[in-house]
Amino acid sequence: MAANSSSTGGKSSSGSGGKLSGLTAEQVVGTFQRMRQEQRSMASKAAELEMEINEHTLVIDTLKDVDPSRKCFRLVGGVLVERTVKEVLPALESNKEQISKIIETINTQMQTKGRELTEYREKYNIRLVGEGEAESQATPSDQNSEGGGSKSGTGVLVS
């Protein structure tokens, strides 16, 4: 899934410019892919919780129009429990609020992880497969202008 390359024409990461902070190209790619997977997991969890909020909203809207003393059943820990609408409605609204707070927290964590990924990409000159040729050509020259000449030879290509 990942391929490693350097701008020195196919040399492996055994050269002096191929290592940064004692990490091999494989370790850099592995860490980058792990970070990307963590971000994807957070996004997946946020989407799942958004669907739960939609379900809670649908049930809350339905129960608001129902007689408060009417029986309803709620699934608690895999067991259906008989309750009344007036008992269930506040619990649903509370759960919905808590889920919203969790989504906000996850979104904040995703933004932080995105910044970490960007910094990591810039630090190790990581380019994703499919990025434009102009972008990949601009990155090494930016590194050289900042005095990081040895870093420009450690381009890592990630699929």
Contact residues for 111 (Cβ-Cβ < 8 A; gap 6+): none
Annotated domain spans of the chain: 23-66+92-123, 125-159
- Residue 30: which pLDDT band, with cuts at 50, 70 and 90? very high
Query: Lowest-confidence range among 65-69, 104-108, 139-143, 151-155?
Result: 139-143
For the cut 50, the answer to whether the pLDDT of residue 149 exceeds it is: no
pLDDT of residue 140: 52
- Evaluated on CA atoms 109, 2, 153, 140, the torsion sign reads negative
Q: How many angstroms separate the CA atoms of 82 and 110, rounded? A: 39
Does the predicted model carry a pTM greater than 0.75? no
For the cut 90, the answer to whether the pLDDT of residue 18 exceeds it is: no
101-109's contacts with Cβ under 8 Å and 24+ in sequence apart are 102/49, 103/46, 103/49, 103/50, 103/53, 106/42, 106/45, 106/46, 106/49, 107/46, 109/42
pLDDT of residue 128: 87
pLDDT of residue 8: 41
In the numeric block, which tokens belong to residue 73? 């059943």
Q: How many CB atoms lie within 10 A of CB 126?
A: 21
Contact 72, 83 (CB under 8 A): yes
Using CA atoms, how far residue 68 sits from 55, 72, 75, 130, in Å, is: 20, 10, 18, 57
Angle at 127 between CA 13 and CA 106, to 5 degrees: 115
**Residue pLDDT, tens place only, 98-137:** 999 999 999 999 999 999 999 999 999 999 888 765 554 5
**Residue pLDDT, tens place only, 60-97:** 999 999 999 999 999 999 999 999 999 999 999 999 99
